[in-house]
Copies of this chain bind each other. A is one copy, B any other.
Amino acid sequence: MGGPGPGRPRRADARRNIEALVEAATRLLAVDPDASMNEVARAAGVGRVTLYGHFGSRTALVAEVVDRAIAQTDEALAQLDLDGDPREALGRLLEATWQLTHRFGAVVVAASRALPPEQMRRAHEGLAVRVRGLLERGREAGRFRGDMPLEWQLGVVQAVLHGASAAVHRGEVAAEDAPWLVRETVLAALAA
C-alpha cells in the first residue's frame, strides 16, 4: 500500500528516470545543441529537482549522453571489416564513422561546446585506435605518405570529420554529401 518502500522500487524508479533523461537529452541535443536542462526535464516527464538530483549540471548530463553515444559507436565500429587495402579500409571506417556521427547529429556540437577538449579527445579513443592502426599499416605499405608525423595525420582525420559535422549543422553541406567529401578529402590529404 502507499508509495514505494525504501529498497528496490526506489532504485528502479531512479534507473527509469535516468534512462528517460538520457534518452530525452540525446534526442533534443541531436537537433538543438543548446537544448536546456528545463527542456530535457520536460521532454523526459521528470521534475527539475529529480533531474538535478541525477545530473548536478548540464555538463554532467552532456557527458553521460556522450559516453553512451561513444559506447554505441564503438560497438558498431567493432563490426567493421578493416582488413585489406588500408586506403579502402580507411574509406569504409570514415563512412561508417560519419553515419554514426550523423545519427547523433548536433550532440557532437553540444559536446564540443560543453566538454573540455581533454574529454572530447577521450571520446574519440575508439576511432583513434582504429585510424592509427590503419595509418601505421598504410604508411608501411606505401599507401599513405610517411613524411608527416602519424599524430598529425590522425589530427587531420579528426579535424575533417569535425569540420563536416559543423558544416552540415550550419547547412553549408548536405548530410548525404558528407561521407563522400570526408572520404575524398582525407584520402587526398594522406595520399603517398
A residues with CB within 8 A of B: 109, 113, 117, 148-149, 151-152, 155-156, 158-160, 162-164, 166-167, 172-173, 177, 181, 184-185, 188-191
Contact = CB atoms under 8 A, between A and B. Distances in A.
Copies of this chain per assembly: 2
B166 A152 contact: no
A184 B156 CA distance: 12
B156 A172 contact: no
27 contacts: A113-B117, A117-B166, A148-B181, A148-B185, A149-B172, A149-B173, A149-B181, A151-B167, A151-B173, A152-B167, A152-B172, A152-B173, A152-B181, A152-B185, A155-B163, A155-B166, A155-B167, A155-B173, A156-B160, A156-B163, A158-B163, A159-B162, A159-B163, A185-B189, A188-B188, A188-B190, A189-B189
Contacts of A163: 155-156, 158-159
A173 B155 CA distance: 10
Main secondary structure of the interface of A (DSSP, over half): helix
A152 B174 CA distance: 10
A149 B189 CA distance: 17
Contacts of A190: 188
The 8 closest A-B pairs by CB, nearest first: A159-B163, A159-B159, A189-B189, A151-B172, A155-B163, A155-B167, A185-B189, A188-B189
A163 B185 CA distance: 15
